[in-house]
Amino acid sequence: MEAKTPQPLPRRLDLHCDAGSEGSGPLIGARMAAEALGIGFLLIAIVGSGILGERLCGGNIAIALLVNALATGAALFALIEWFAPLSGAHFNPLVTLVLAFRGDVKPAIAAAYVPAQILGAIIGVGIAEAMFDERIYALSAHVRSGPSQWLSEAVSTFGLIGAVWVCSRLRPSAMAGVVAAYIGGAFWFTATDFANPAVTIARALTDTFSGIRPLDVPGFIISEIVGAVAAVFVFRRLAPA
């Protein structure tokens, strides 16, 4: 009797996507929708918890920030576990572009993901504001500018991209926990912790606890790019593909 060769189990997509034929046709549309939906929920968590935390904290900003950090970290863990099999759960243009640079993601997928992520983030902000009876898409007046804030953005993004670079190859099963814990912690050990251009753009559209003044968005995005580039430079040497 001829022995049968065991068939490999389907590989889970942990923050990266195959570069094969899956990058075209209906599948890429489904992945775009999953990315938009996932980052939309992430912005609902960030903005919604910021609104409720500020309302309930009685003026204690430390408590409001703690609520914001815990809710964001918990939601991020759940969302990565939820959407990783569907789209890779990037939820961040810089994560997508870094993985494309490394060859884990086809250029066509990367080009499709970035606008989907930005659109999903903007929609998520509007939904969060509507749920708490806030003015929808009011431009933020929250000033976030200066060298300390820009350095914080570069540092927080460096850590995030470094974690993704290493864990996606060496510890994929730990990815959700590492990313969620890092982002939640960075709420407290940096002065900002956006670490995501799509999140930065979307948060300019809410004049609530989580907002950022539109004038300050370019400085944040530049700092995030600098942090991402630095992380790639360092970790491609520490953990080569």
pLDDT 10s digits, 49-93: 999 999 999 999 999 999 999 999 999 999 999 999 999 999 999
Give 23's pLDDT tier (boundaries 50, 70, 90): very low
Would you state the pLDDT for residue 14?
Answer: 47
Average pLDDT estimate for 187-205: 97
Residue 15: inside a domain: no
The alpha-helical segments, DSSP class H, found in the chain are 26-56, 61-87, 93-102, 107-131, 147-170, 175-189, 197-203, 217-238
Predicted TM-score of the model (pTM): 0.89
Burial class of residue 144, CB neighbours in 10 A (0-12, 13-18, 19+):
buried
Give 240's pLDDT tier (boundaries 50, 70, 90): confident
Residue 13: inside a domain: no
Whether residue 196 has pLDDT greater than 60: yes
Whether residue 4 has pLDDT greater than 90: no
Residue 2: inside a domain: no
Q: For the chain, how many structural domains are there in total?
A: 1
**Which has the higher per-residue pLDDT, 1 or 169?**
169
Would you state the pLDDT for residue 8?
Answer: 39
Interatomic CA distance for residues 34 and 83, integer angstroms = 7
Residue 68: inside a domain: yes
Residue 161: inside a domain: yes
Whether residue 224 has pLDDT greater than 90: yes
Whether residue 20 has pLDDT greater than 50: no
Domain CATH code at residue 174: 1.20.1080.10
Q: What is the domain range of residue 119?
A: 21-238
Give 19's pLDDT tier (boundaries 50, 70, 90): very low
Average pLDDT estimate for 146-170: 97
Average pLDDT estimate for 16-43: 77
Residue 104: inside a domain: yes
Given a contact cutoff of 8 angstroms between Cβ atoms, the answer to whether 215 and 206 are in contact is: no
pLDDT 10s digits, 106-146: 999 999 999 999 999 999 999 999 999 999 999 999 999 99
| Averaged pLDDT of the chain | 91
Residue 26: inside a domain: yes
Average pLDDT estimate for 208-230: 98
Residue 154: inside a domain: yes
